[in-house]
Structure 1
Amino acid sequence: MSHSERRDPVTVTKRARDPRIDAFRGLALVMIFIDHVPGNPFEYLTIRNLGFSDAAESFFILSGIAAGLAYSGRFLPEARLKTGLWSAVQPMWSRAWVLYLMQIFMTLWAIAIFSFGAQAFDLPQMLTIINLRQVFENTEQALLGIPLLTHQLGYVNILPAYSVLLFVGPALIVLGLRHPVLLVALSAAVWLAAGIWRLNLPNYPNPGGWFFNPVAWQAVFVAGLLTGIHLRKGERFVPRNPYLFAAALGYLVLVVAWRYLPGLGEVLNHQMARLGALGVPFNVVSHDKTYLALPRFLHVLAMFYVLSCLPVVTRVTAHALAAPLRLMGRQGLLVFVSGTLLALVFQVIMTNWEQAGWLAWVLPPLGVAGMIAIAWVAEWQKALRKPKGAPVALPARRSAGEALAAE
């Protein structure tokens, strides 16, 4: 044993990345991008057409998994004894700060893109959509709300909730490591309370609360976080069980029938409305997205459980054909930001040339190709920065999961 090895007893072996996480995160980013370009035919291929949840729920549960893999090791008792609590908390709060800065960056560019569209193409309506009216008609209050995250623009409003959840993430991980069942119970209680008392963070200067309400959406993040914590230990948080698998698969089939079988959806929605009239909380008997209504929540949980139980999923996501998705997943934040801004640019173009129907077919594939190219350039630059012949090393306690979240 070398002197350096004796001096650094907390060095860990780097684990291989799970191809499912990268590939599904890349796929979620593609679907978010496509859904952010309204009116294109590829919208019919995104996950929201197969159930109640959409790519946003998938994004949050994958973000929770990545956070659990990346940061939970630093909160283990032996790690905290050696390096202290702050070394565990600081990476999560640093990441939350990066997400905050990216939110401000995207908001400013969204304003610029739509302002350019209004000015260059004589499209004044571009200044009144996606919650931009307050920026131009109530500027002082809107410019206060933007850095406070209380004024969020449409299509540019996912990162604030994720940033908040990462900020409280250290407490969630500590509780999840010691008492995971208690964390599930508390998370479910907070989710239910959010629906009963309409708990949300405030909007300003608009009334109401955040579209992605972190008080409710913490539930899907916690589900991913606990999954990631157990994956880091080589375990499953929810064991494989044939009865649970059948129930989850059955629910996914029911949801498809609920949406597309004539008459069934109307009957089931009516029964849910009757339960609501009897006093059942609205987030249990509705499809509301802001409060992560139960049908949506169960849909994303059932989908991820079924996928996690199928060995073929690992083989498919590790296949060479899935390499572009894994590439985008590894550069998740960069791809999300660039995809969001490209989607806004395409909205302006399609609004100005709305008669050119071919744009709806051409622009989304071009955007996805651009996202792949941006991710490839980022990976290429990362490889160039690595000295030739240098051994692959990680900082103390930094696993492959930490690299995943950091990207």
Structure 2
Amino acid sequence: MSKPKAPRDPRLDMFRGIALVMIFLNHIPGQIYERFTSRNFGHSDAAEGFVFMAGAAAALAYGPRLIDGLNWAALRKVWNRAWTLYLVHLFTAFWAIAIIAGAALWFGGEELLTKNAFKPLTTKPLEFLIGIPALTHQLGYVNILPMYAVLLLAAPFLIRLGQIAPRALLAGAILFWVTTGQFRLNLPNFPFEGGWFFNPLAWEILFCLGILTGLALREGKRFVPVNRWLVGVAALWLVFCAFWVNSEPAMASLGHVSWQLREWGVPFYLVEFDKTFVSLPRLTHILALAYILSLPGLVPAFAASRFAAPLCMLGRHGLPVFATGTILAILAQAIRHVHPAGLAQDTLLIVGGLMVQLALAYIRGRIAAPAKAPEPATANNTRVALA
């Protein structure tokens, strides 16, 4: 039997909203506002937080359906969501193609066709048309949803294992991450060589850690208890990482240390900053950040306040907001390329894009309200938004 409903923690919605804002800013490179996103203060960025929260949201949303064991109703629910993600990915990919093609056709933006994996559109069009729907060719800035969809296909089994034996899920996730890095396992690309930029075989570790966190939240507990020693270590690591990425001497010195360790045979995924394989510096940074932000006190109070309401609203409608933000970011890239006009235009594009996303979230909330009487926000009725 499912457990009683527990009060929903607003932090997930708030942090999803923050991640959506940062992803939108980071997807319009070259403007001043991207300097204020999390990737400028450590080794990880909003994508790592997104996937971690996706695991937590999946556990909260689908855990109750799996509490008595795997069943077809639960599998169908989760896999339907994966199918939705696939369709939304195609929607954003084809809109990105249309925007870049329009910029090249009518506004002199032909150079855009040489960036962000668009080149096969002109050099290998048939292969390109195969690769897009087959997910073997993913455009830059439009490539996180396929990874998330693959993880959702495995989510019912991972959640069930986490319910039965959380330590086994943790050990298995770590072992799978090590194996993936050690043998450079990845899903195939076509027509490009190599594998997916967001490699789901490596990113599963963040998704699984999110699942374990969500299952603990469901029980009103913490997956990692508050420990003063651990708080100190996590805080020091975050401060050190912020210094590391903002100091050229530190970057040079520690980069040399990383190179030397590789020369001595230390595996790359333990010492480098590889995003595809979620290398250890990136992994430990996002985990330290998640741990510190999950501490009781100021953050939960702010998340429940009216000041965080706009961010929570974005987070509650994560998938449509993300898709809209992705398309607007590609449009902004094209505008900035064909008509570079400085800070004023950048500000208009950023603020305008965020306002559109907020309006979308607000309208969706208003439309959904009359159709269904509002329920108390609970972990049991949490929907899996893009996280």
Shorter-chain TM-score range:
over 0.9
**2:102 aligned residue:** 116
**1:3 aligned residue:** none
Write the distance in 1 (CA, Å) between the matches of 2:376 and 2:239: 46
Matched, 1:403 2:382: yes
Cα shift readout 1:112-150 (whole Å, capped 9, x = no counterpart): 111111112021112222211112321211111111111
- Contact 1:257-1:265 within 8 A present in 2 as well: no
Matched, 1:41 2:32: yes
SS in 2 for 1:288: coil
- Contact 2:218-2:379 within 8 A present in 1 as well: no
- 1:187-206 equivalent positions in 2, closer than 5 A: 187-206=173-192
- Contact 1:31-1:46 within 8 A present in 2 as well: yes
How large is the RMSD of aligned CA atoms in angstroms?
Answer: 1.8
- Contact 1:95-1:406 within 8 A present in 2 as well: no
**TM-score, normalized by length of structure 2?**
0.95
Identity within the alignment, %: 43
2:329 maps to which of 343, 350, 365: 343
Matched, 1:370 2:329: no
Write the distance in 2 (CA, Å) between the matches of 1:148 and 1:233: 39
**1:384 aligned residue:** 370
**1:32 aligned residue:** 23
Per mean C-alpha deviation after superposition, the further-off stretch among 123-132 and 66-75 is 123-132
Write the distance in 2 (CA, Å) between the matches of 1:297 and 1:391: 38
Write the distance in 1 (CA, Å) between the matches of 2:368 and 2:122: 40
Write the distance in 1 (CA, Å) between the matches of 2:172 and 2:188: 22
- Contact 2:9-2:379 within 8 A present in 1 as well: no
Write the distance in 2 (CA, Å) between the matches of 1:302 and 1:342: 32
Write the distance in 2 (CA, Å) between the matches of 1:32 and 1:205: 27
- Contact 1:201-1:210 within 8 A present in 2 as well: yes
Cα shift readout 1:77-134 (whole Å, capped 9, x = no counterpart): 2xx4xxx611221111111010011011111111111111111202111222221111
Q: 1:157 to 1:182 in 2, by over 3 A?
A: same
Cα shift readout 1:273-301 (whole Å, capped 9, x = no counterpart): 21111111101010111111100000000
Gaps of 5+ in 2: none
**1:208 aligned residue:** 194
Q: 1:23 to 1:242 in 2, by over 3 A?
A: same
Cα shift readout 1:156-195 (whole Å, capped 9, x = no counterpart): 0000000000001111112111111111111111111222
1:133 maps to which of 102, 112, 119: 119
Q: 1:301 to 1:167 in 2, by over 3 A?
A: same
How many pairs align? 386
- 1:98-109 equivalent positions in 2, closer than 5 A: 98-109=84-95
Q: 1:233 to 1:353 in 2, by over 3 A?
A: same
How far residue 13 of structure 1 moved from its aligned partner, in angstroms, is 5.1
Q: 1:402 to 1:281 in 2, by over 3 A?
A: farther
Q: 1:168 to 1:103 in 2, by over 3 A?
A: same
1:275 maps to which of 233, 258, 261: 261
- 1:1-400 equivalent positions in 2, closer than 5 A: 14-77=5-68, 80=69, 85-386=71-372, 392=375, 400=379
Per mean C-alpha deviation after superposition, the further-off stretch among 284-293 and 256-265 is 256-265
How far residue 268 of structure 1 moved from its aligned partner, in angstroms, is 2.1
- Contact 1:96-1:163 within 8 A present in 2 as well: yes
Gaps of 5+ in 1: 1-9
Per mean C-alpha deviation after superposition, the further-off stretch among 294-303 and 180-189 is 180-189
- Contact 2:316-2:385 within 8 A present in 1 as well: no
Cα shift readout 1:246-290 (whole Å, capped 9, x = no counterpart): 111111111112223452332222222211111111010101111
Write the distance in 2 (CA, Å) between the matches of 1:211 and 1:90: 28
Q: 1:140 to 1:391 in 2, by over 3 A?
A: closer
**TM-score, normalized by length of structure 1?**
0.91
**1:4 aligned residue:** none
Write the distance in 2 (CA, Å) between the matches of 1:224 and 1:294: 17
Q: 1:148 to 1:180 in 2, by over 3 A?
A: same
Greater than 4 Å deviation, 4+ residue runs: 10-14, 390-394
- Contact 1:65-1:228 within 8 A present in 2 as well: yes
